[in-house]
Amino acid sequence: MMPGFALAKNCRVIALSRRDPAKAQDSARQYDIPHAFASTAELCRCPEVDAVFVTTPNSLHLSDTLTALGCGKPVLCEKPMGVNAAECRQMVEAARRAGLLLGIAHVFRFEESVGRLRARLAAGEIGRPVFVRSEFSFKAGKEHPRAWIYDRSLAGGGPIADVGVHCVDTLRFILQDEVVQVSARGIANPDSPDLEDAAALTLEFSRGTLAAVLVSYRAEYRTPLEIVGEQGVLRAEDCLTVERPVRVELRRGGAVAGDETVSNHAAYAIQVDAFADALEGKAPFPATGEQGWQNQEILDAAYRSLVSGKAETVPRVS
């Protein structure tokens, strides 16, 4: 996150909180942050804090968001928004009552690669989308910095919740359509059998597009995204990466008919600046609490499908 804030033009980090006061002070010194606190409540009471970015483990998003809203602070909350849709509803309703902005950090909505795919699809370059594919995998062993991702009580799920939500949100954003039904199959994690280690999801969109989402904690890092239409294919092999340039291709007749190379390096900065702009009334923030809640409804349906072995209907939020 901090490299993103370093590139931001309209916001900066003024305070952080960590449960261990010594670690909080160390992090503050490392990133030249003026204030360090040992709790969310202390940070939210700081008069110099204008808004709060919740980046704690998933199971703490609800309590931390409610604390910030209760202190009168707008909130940008990391994905997934919560561990179930009921939590997301609570957060959205609390923000509505408080009259405060609640955004969800679906950072890939701010990538140039995703924006180009969305615009080119909307322009009709490949006709009606028939099916789409999004993958997100990376190797997350026990030494992973976010050790809590293997604790269901903290994470709420495995890669479906962790990176599958990125794929789901990105596809909804690109297609500008909603998921009505989900089917899911998963492989259990050998070290944490109550969590999936890899999964395949089939999403049915309201306008008839079918999507395949593949996620894993055991495969090499990869984030390809492909849209197959009636008149061609749009694809990017590394669509959801920020580390290197991304090539967006248009294919027709089995051959490349055109391509462009874009950069996503500023996506995190664009995201936080967009939130700041929304707070100043310059433009709406595109990843609202309602959007995060809708994504969670899809995740919940996927986890129901893992248990039932059937396609599960996705409720629409309101």
232 vs 109: CA distance, rounded Å: 23
Please tell me what DSSP assigns to residue 38.
Answer: S
Task: Give the pLDDT score at 10.
Answer: 95
Homologous superfamily of domain range 2-107: NAD(P)-binding Rossmann-like Domain (3.40.50.720)
Q: Is residue 25 very low, low, confident or very high in pLDDT (cuts 50, 70, 90)?
A: very high
Per-residue model confidence as pLDDT tens digits over 220-279: 999 999 999 999 999 999 999 999 999 999 999 999 999 999 999 999 999 999 999 999
Q: Which of 7-11, 128-132, 191-195 has the lowest mean pLDDT?
A: 191-195
The CATH number of 108-264+288-313, from 3.40.50.10860, 3.40.50.740, 3.40.640.10, 3.30.360.10, is 3.30.360.10
Residue-range domain boundaries for the chain: 2-107, 108-264+288-313
Per-residue model confidence as pLDDT tens digits over 208-230: 999 999 999 999 999 999 999 99
Task: Give the pLDDT score at 150.
Answer: 87
Q: For the chain, where are the E strands, in sequence order?
A: 15-17, 35-37, 52-54, 75-78, 102-105, 129-137, 179-188, 196-205, 210-216, 225-229, 232-236, 246-252, 255-262, 312-313
43 class by beta-carbon count within 10 Å (0-12 exposed, 13-18 middle, 19+ buried):
buried
Q: Which residues pair with 135 in a beta bridge?
A: 214
The strand pair at 102-105 and 75-78 is best described as parallel
